[in-house]
Amino acid sequence: MSETAIATTNLTKTYGDIRAVSELNLCVPRRAIYGFLGRNGAGKSTTIKMVLGLAQPTSGSARVLGMEAGKERVAIFERTAFVSEKKTLYPLLTAAELVRFSRGFYPTWSDEAVQKCARRLEIPMKQRFDKLSNGNRTKVFLMLALSQRADLLILDEPTTALDPVTAEEFLRMLAEDALDRGSTIFFSSHQLEELERIAEYVGVMDHGKLLLQARLDDIKNDFRLITASGSGLPVEKTPQIVSVEVDGDSCRYFVTNDAEGFATELKRNGATVTESIPLSLRESFLQLVRKE
């Protein structure tokens, strides 16, 4: 069995002249919680659609749970739960009827999970979907996804419209699900704090390109903002130096690995290193996607 839940190879999608996703090489390990970050229009949802076979890639390929996306769509959906960014369900059906509708599609369906979700997320099960608030609509969607007992959960901005208390409860449920059953969770979000709390791996996307893919712990340990002053400071970007801000005779470097080695090198060349700050995920994200 493949140890990779999602693997894409040079996945590309263009709409006319617009390159929505460009040569994406994504690797989501099994049993991991993977946070997929990016600004609006970065290409996250398009990537998810291609991974699920809902959109055809212009070039490249994607494999999900060892199966080829697009060609083995039905088999993939048997083992994958998906929450779309569009949280729209049948307006005239109640949450209980939506459960009844969905149950028959999945052999792994758990009514126990339905009850647990309904209780913990406080879902009004007998109210029609079109009468629910945006937050409750999202909760119904999440309940249906969690009750599938899927091997892989793909959640496109799942906590949008949720209040902080419910979002927290939902994240806890996700983490429990991953821990108890060993499911893989791949979710896109703008909420950096919540992602930082539960994700083990992070992928950052911008303008259709994957800027970063790493363990969250590695980001926290290795990513540094180094400020140095002096003459002859390097201003070129390298794989190690993601960005450089020049301010008079001082420079601020966003370094993604071996920050200590880089600082030592600067000192050896006569520069004065005034700061070396570890970065949070938010700071790293902002550094990565900031326009030059």
* Inter-CA distances, 13 with 23, 156, 209, Å: 8, 18, 11
Burial class (CB in 10 A: 0-12, 13-18, 19+), 129: buried
Instruction: Tell the smallest beta-carbon distance from residue 93 to another protein (Å).
Output: 8
Nearest CB to another protein, comparing residues 104 and 248: 104
- Cα separation, 175 vs 106, whole angstroms: 22
Q: Which span sits near another protein by CB under 8 A: 52-60, 182-190, 220-228, 263-271?
A: 52-60
Instruction: Tell the smallest beta-carbon distance from residue 90 to another protein (Å).
Output: 6
Nearest CB to another protein, comparing residues 74 and 165: 74
Q: Which span sits near another protein by CB under 8 A: 28-36, 88-96, 232-240, 272-280?
A: 88-96
49 counts as binding another protein under rule CB under 8 A: yes
Of 73, 71, 69, 121, nearest to 95 by C-alpha is 121
* Inter-CA distances, 235 with 72, 226, 288, Å: 48, 13, 16
52 counts as binding another protein under rule CB under 8 A: yes
The count of residues interacting with another protein (CB under 8 A) is 28
What are the residues whose beta carbons fall under 8 Å from the beta carbon of 137, sequence distance 6 or more?
A: 87, 88, 89, 129, 161
Q: Mask: binding to another protein, 98-137, rule CB under 8 A, as x and -? A: --xxxxxxx-------------------------------
Neighbouring CB atoms inside 10 A of 220's CB total: 15
Instruction: Tell the smallest beta-carbon distance from residue 129 to another protein (Å).
Output: 10
Q: Which span sits near another protein by CB under 8 A: 78-86, 117-125, 172-180, 227-235?
A: 78-86
- Cα separation, 56 vs 81, whole angstroms: 20
Of 235, 219, 242, 257, nearest to 288 by C-alpha is 242
Which of 10, 25, 41, 86 is close enough to bind another protein by CB under 8 A?
Answer: 86
190 counts as binding another protein under rule CB under 8 A: no
CB 22 within 8 A of CB 12: yes
Nearest CB to another protein, comparing residues 93 and 211: 93
Nearest CB to another protein, comparing residues 73 and 220: 73
Q: Which span sits near another protein by CB under 8 A: 86-94, 157-165, 179-187, 235-243?
A: 86-94
Of 196, 228, 189, nearest to 215 by C-alpha is 196
Nearest CB to another protein, comparing residues 86 and 172: 86
Q: Which span sits near another protein by CB under 8 A: 4-12, 21-29, 96-104, 187-195?
A: 96-104
CB 281 within 8 A of CB 216: yes
Q: Which span sits near another protein by CB under 8 A: 20-28, 48-56, 230-238, 255-263?
A: 48-56
Q: Is 123 helix (H, G, I), strand (E, B) or coil?
A: coil
Judged by the rule CB under 8 A, the positions of this chain that interact with another protein are 49, 52, 54-56, 73-75, 77-78, 80, 82, 84, 86, 88-93, 97, 100-106
